[in-house]
Amino acid sequence: MWCGHRECGVFIGKYHGVEPSQPKRLVACAGTDTPTATVRALAVTLGISEWSTVGEDHLDAGTRSAPTRAPLQTVDRALSILLSYNPRRTDWGVVELADEFGLDKSAAQRLLATLARRGFLHADPITRRYRLGPVMWRMATMWERMGGMATLVRPVLATLAEETSRTAVFALADGAYVRAVAVVEGGSSPLRGDPMVGELYPAHAGATARAYFAFITPKEREILMYSRPLAQFNELTQQDSISIEHLMLDVAERGWAYSEGEYDRETRAVGAPVFVTGRPIGSVSIGELKRESSSEIRDHVNAVLRTAAGIGQLLSLRGTPPTKR
């Protein structure tokens, strides 16, 4: 009895009292990516009349062998397929997926079909291409509602708040605003008398929002910002679209944003964009009350940029792609 798994490549007959040199029945474990046709052809070549597959841990006749890597490899491949989707890769066909991941066509088809059956992918009945499915949306929504994002980034923000003695904020894009997802207070007193998590920062006022909106395209800004009247929070708030665009271009060139009193006249802030897979998703900023400033907040620009890059890497973590054959 022999395992047909191409990476396992070991005789397992000894677990069933069969001499490896005299295989009686060819066995391929369930986690193998060896095509059924290949197993059949190998059986014929070896002059074996019986061949079959067994469970992922080589279960046969109630006997368990030493564990193999095959099940983990299959899971890793399935996860790598899900992670391969991005704004430039929104769907896969069976043949191109097989070529990209070094799989045979039947293995690629089985992986895609299984993911679609569980709702992680959706198979278009006309094009026969696979897009992300509803389960991905449901899991992402549940993760955010349960505070997964805030829990993940809060330790990084805490380091920034301690290093700068300022309040640190991580905000995500939310239409014409950015929304505070996680906040860690720093300094001698809080910036607000009420909780800041969930607060919306308008695109045209303040470094927290500008640090994100300066890095989307001008066309996106036009749609999100300039198709409606812009609120004036005080005399320092810019409302002219041309002036705001100049500010956005300056921030994009410099790489970070600074504001003083445009949104909340009692505060100043420095912000930097957070990129995930090359696209801006939000910002990291530090803020302070003007009356309590003991040093120049812009002296901490590098710390803010470093934290923004760190959070971007944290949110961009991807599994190692499977080795191509």
DSSP 121-172: EEE-TTT--EEE-HHHHHHHHHHHHTTHHHHHHHHHHHHHHHHHTSEEEEEE
Question: What pLDDT score does 146 carry?
Answer: 79
Question: What pLDDT score does 63 carry?
Answer: 36
Q: Which part of the chain has CATH 3.30.450.40?
A: 147-315
**Is the CB of residue 40 less than 8 Å from the CB of residue 27?**
no
Q: Which part of the chain has CATH 1.10.10.10?
A: 70-138
Give the DSSP H or E segment for 305. Answer: helix 301-315
Question: What pLDDT score does 131 carry?
Answer: 95
- pLDDT, tens digit, 9 for 90 and up, residues 141-156: 888 787 888 999 999 9
The answer to whether residue 245 scores a pLDDT higher than 60 is yes
Residue 49 has what DSSP assignment?
Answer: S
The shares of helix, strand and coil residues in the chain, as percent rounded to the nearest 5, are 40, 20, 40
**Is the CB of residue 237 less than 8 Å from the CB of residue 203?**
no
CA distance 270 to 220: 23
* pLDDT class of 33 with cuts at 50, 70, 90: very low
Residue 6 has what DSSP assignment?
Answer: T
Name the pairing type of β-strands 25-29 and 2-3: parallel
High-pLDDT (> 90) share of the chain, %: 50
More confident call, 24 vs 117: 117
**Is the CB of residue 1 less than 8 Å from the CB of residue 25?**
yes
Q: Which fold has domain 70-138?
A: Arc Repressor Mutant, subunit A (1.10.10)
* CB environment 210-234: b (16+ within 10 A), e (fewer): bbbbbbbeeeebeebbbeeebeebe
The answer to whether residue 259 scores a pLDDT higher than 90 is yes
- pLDDT, tens digit, 9 for 90 and up, residues 48-86: 555 454 443 443 333 334 444 445 788 889 999 998 998
CA nearest to 241, candidates 214, 222, 217, 257: 222
CA distance 237 to 230: 9
More confident call, 4 vs 240: 240
Residue range 230-256: mean pLDDT, rounded: 91
Contacts of 226 (CB under 8 A, 6+ apart): 241
> Cα dihedral sign for 156, 160, 162, 163?
positive
CA distance 257 to 273: 9
CATH no. for 147-315: 3.30.450.40
Question: What pLDDT score does 118 carry?
Answer: 92
Question: What pLDDT score does 49 carry?
Answer: 53
* pLDDT class of 4 with cuts at 50, 70, 90: very low
CA distance 259 to 250: 13
CA nearest to 148, candidates 315, 28, 8: 315
